């Protein structure tokens, strides 16, 4: 007789363990959905603007795709990188069908996340960060998509170079180059808007 | 305000129900994980295609090497080799393009493998280039480049194989250029028999303009390019003023055996009057190599 995993038994396992256990008992997948729903919802909101219904559809598709591809999960990767990769690809694919890429980011960035980005851009310390929040986020939205993706993952999702490489399927060296260029472009835009940097 | 409260309530309910919704959907749609064998096979297939592509890259490298190694053998005189179309035919452009395409395809295939995305384009191209070149050199020495050159000349528009280009460049006796295989030569005699690309046998006489090094080139079986002139006395007798070995390199083990026809030909060493005629006509090579 099949036993349903309890909440405590699920929480005792790592994501990677749960992914492998889900192959033998589907109920273990519940733990992964619960752990990643909020994170992925926040992430897809940063990639584009969706209605709540669209977000739900998208999230369901992401989790179903994740479940169907569990055997493709490379245990040398973090599960979070892998599920973010699926989320990223599904969201991009979803947006392609809508043709236009709606604006995201601005409404879904906490003060801490914003400060993380702004301080790394060396935006002048005398300027109140709150004052320029809109300008920074607007500058972010005006960047090329490939640069936006890197900045979002690095500063808002706190991913390492290695994780970003695994999520976006690009070499770690390319992550470093794109990140550097993205920051350079951001600084230029901010300079043009009259915000000096240190 | 009321709308916001409703939205928040909707979100909370929905958030709680997401795992239920997903599990229900998996159940209703009877979804199950794709078998591991599928992913393993796909990975193996992609690597196999990449290796297959690498081999094709190596084949094109052997074609490039074959062309490059024979440029010297097919140019009798750089001044004559000035037509754009000839340069186009000689340069292994086709193989360079093919090689570039295969490297690009291999890059795409490797990118599709499990860990392939971790490699930089430059790393993949560099590795492909080195491996293809090493394998290509090996194939070139086996004579694969020679075979490919023949095959490509049949199917690629505006292309000719090396032997054809060599013939076009060197084989023009009336203009003083003759090419062919030495089929009979004796050290002590200043004459040898050469078979031209059309199979015609020529009796070739040394002129006094030849150096000893050039005379040493004449060995049975060798392909040589000659500059000189047709004798006024015999339309199949050629007086040679310059000799170059124009052996096609890279035939490998596919090289055709030398046909020895020594037994059926008796070398005419020239009558004494002919030899005297040659010595008297010291200016016979004036246009080719002034004495």
- Domain segments of chain B as ranges: 36-163, 171-285
Element spanning B183, H or E: strand B177-185
Which range (A37-51, A66-80, A92-106) has the least confidence? Answer: A92-106
Q: From CA A130, how far away is CA B182, in angstroms rounded?
A: 91
Which range (A8-12, A139-143, A181-185, B60-64) has the least confidence? Answer: A8-12
* pLDDT at residue B250, rounded to an integer: 85
Q: Do A14-97 and A110-192 come out as alike in CATH topology?
A: no
The percent of residues in chain A predicted with pLDDT above 90, rounded, is: 50
Nearest C-alpha of chain A: how many angstroms from B121?
Answer: 9
Domain residue extents for chain A: 14-97, 110-192
Element spanning A188, H or E: helix A172-192
Element spanning B203, H or E: strand B201-206
Q: From CA B175, how far away is CA B168, in angstroms rounded?
A: 12
Question: Which residues, given as ranges, of chain B have pLDDT below 70?
Answer: 1-16, 75-90, 187, 253-284, 286-291
Q: From CA B202, how far away is CA B238, in angstroms rounded?
A: 7
A170–B19 C-beta distance less than 8 A = no
CATH superfamily membership of B171-285: Nucleic acid-binding proteins (2.40.50.140)
DSSP B213-274: HHHHH--TT-EEEEEEEE-SS-TTEEEEEEEEE-PPTT-GGGPPPP---GGG-------HHH
Looking at B79-199, list the stretches that DSSP marks H as alpha helix, in order from N- to C-terminal side: 84-90, 93-111, 121-142, 144-155, 162-170
Fold designation for A110-192: Arc Repressor Mutant, subunit A (1.10.10)
Residue B276 to residues A130, B98, B143, B204, B266, Cα–Cα distance (Å): 107, 57, 46, 16, 21
* pLDDT at residue B131, rounded to an integer: 93
* pLDDT at residue A170, rounded to an integer: 93
Residue A125 to residues A187, B64, B125, B229, Cα–Cα distance (Å): 14, 61, 45, 89
Interface of A with B in 95-114 (CB under 8 A): none
Chain B residue nearest residue A66, CA to CA: B33
Which of B38, B114, B120 is the closest to A74 by Cβ? B114
* pLDDT at residue A51, rounded to an integer: 86
Which of B29, B39, B114 is the closest to A71 by Cβ? B39
Residue B157 to residues B57, B152, B285, Cα–Cα distance (Å): 21, 9, 39
B18–A56 C-beta distance less than 8 A = yes
Nearest C-alpha of chain B: how many angstroms from A138?
Answer: 25
* pLDDT at residue B264, rounded to an integer: 42
A23–B33 C-beta distance less than 8 A = yes
Residues of B with CB under 8 A from a CB of A: 7, 10-11, 14-15, 18-19, 21-23, 25-26, 29, 31-36, 38-39, 111, 114-115, 117-120, 123
Residue A89 to residues A46, A83, B248, Cα–Cα distance (Å): 14, 10, 55
Spell out the residues 6+ positions from residue B98 whose beta carbon is closer than 8 angstroms to its own.
Answer: B56, B60, B63
B120–A171 C-beta distance less than 8 A = yes
Mean pLDDT taken over chain A: 84
Residue B109 to residues B44, B101, B117, B124, Cα–Cα distance (Å): 11, 12, 10, 11
* pLDDT at residue A1, rounded to an integer: 42
* pLDDT at residue A59, rounded to an integer: 94
Nearest C-alpha of chain A: how many angstroms from B2?
Answer: 17
Token digits for A45?
């909101």
Record the pTM.
0.69
Chain A residue nearest residue B35, CA to CA: A71
pLDDT tens column, A90-149: 999 998 887 555 565 555 677 777 777 777 777 655 556 667 777 888 888 889 989 999
Q: Which residues of B touch A173 (CB under 8 A)?
A: 120
Q: From CA A101, how far away is CA A128, in angstroms rounded?
A: 30
Nearest C-alpha of chain A: how many angstroms from B36?
Answer: 5
What is A14-97's CATH number?
Answer: 1.10.1740.10
The answer to whether A175 touches A150, Cβ cutoff 8 Å, is: yes
A30–B120 C-beta distance less than 8 A = no
Q: Would you call A162 an interface residue with chain B, using a CB distance cutoff of 8 Å?
A: no
pLDDT tens column, B130-180: 999 999 999 999 999 988 888 888 887 777 788 888 888 788 888 888 999
């Amino acid at each position: 007789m099949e036993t349903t995993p309890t909440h405590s038994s699920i929480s005792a396992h790592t994501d990677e363990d749960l992914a492998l256990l889900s192959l033998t008992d589907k109920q273990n997948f519940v733990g992964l959905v619960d752990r990643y729903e909020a994170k992925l919802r926040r992430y897809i909101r940063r990639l584009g603007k969706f209605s709540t219904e669209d977000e739900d559809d998208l999230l369901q598709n992401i989790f179903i795709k994740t479940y169907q591809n569990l055997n493709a999960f490379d245990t040398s990767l973090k599960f979070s990188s892998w599920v973010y990769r699926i989320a990223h690809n599904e969201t991009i694919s979803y947006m392609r069908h809508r043709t236009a890429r709606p604006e995201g980011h601005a409404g879904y960035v906490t003060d801490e996340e914003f400060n993380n980005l702004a301080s790394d851009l060396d935006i002048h310390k005398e300027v109140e960060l709150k004052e320029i929040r809109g300008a920074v986020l607007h500058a972010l939205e005006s960047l090329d998509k490939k640069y936006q993706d890197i900045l979002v993952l690095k500063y808002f999702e706190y991913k390492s170079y290695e994780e970003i490489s695994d999520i976006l399927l690009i070499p770690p060296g390319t992550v470093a180059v794109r990140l550097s260029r993205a920051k350079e472009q951001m600084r230029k835009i901010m300079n043009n808007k009259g915000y000096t940097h240190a | 305000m009321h709308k916001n409260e409703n939205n928040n309530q909707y979100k909370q309910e929905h958030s709680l129900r997401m795992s239920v919704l997903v599990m229900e959907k998996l159940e209703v749609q009877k979804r199950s994980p794709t078998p591991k064998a599928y992913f393993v096979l796909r990975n193996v297939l992609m690597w196999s295609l990449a290796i297959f592509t690498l081999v094709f890259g190596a084949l094109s490298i052997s074609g490039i090497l074959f062309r490059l190694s024979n440029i010297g053998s097919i140019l009798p005189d750089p001044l004559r080799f000035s037509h754009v179309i000839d340069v186009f035919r000689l340069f292994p452009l086709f193989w360079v393009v093919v090689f570039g395409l295969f490297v690009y395809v291999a890059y795409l295939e490797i990118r599709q493998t499990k860990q392939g995305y971790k490699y930089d384009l430059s790393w993949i191209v560099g590795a492909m280039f080195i491996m293809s070149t090493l394998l290509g050199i090996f194939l070139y020495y086996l004579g694969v480049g020679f075979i490919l050159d023949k095959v490509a000349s049949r199917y690629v528009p505006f292309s000719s194989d090396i032997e054809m280009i060599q013939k076009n460049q060197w084989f023009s006796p009336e203009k003083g250029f003759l090419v062919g295989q030495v089929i009979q030569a004796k050290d002590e005699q200043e004459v040898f028999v050469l078979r031209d690309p059309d199979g015609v046998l020529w009796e070739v006489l040394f002129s006094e303009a030849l150096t000893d090094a050039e005379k040493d080139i004449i060995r049975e079986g060798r392909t040589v390019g000659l500059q000189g002139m047709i004798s006024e006395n015999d339309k199949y007798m050629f007086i040679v003023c310059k000799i170059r070995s124009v052996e096609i390199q890279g035939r490998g083990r596919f090289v055709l055996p030398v046909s020895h026809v020594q037994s059926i030909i008796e070398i005419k060493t020239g009558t004494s009057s002919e030899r005297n005629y040659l010595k008297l006509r010291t200016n016979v090579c004036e246009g080719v190599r002034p004495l």
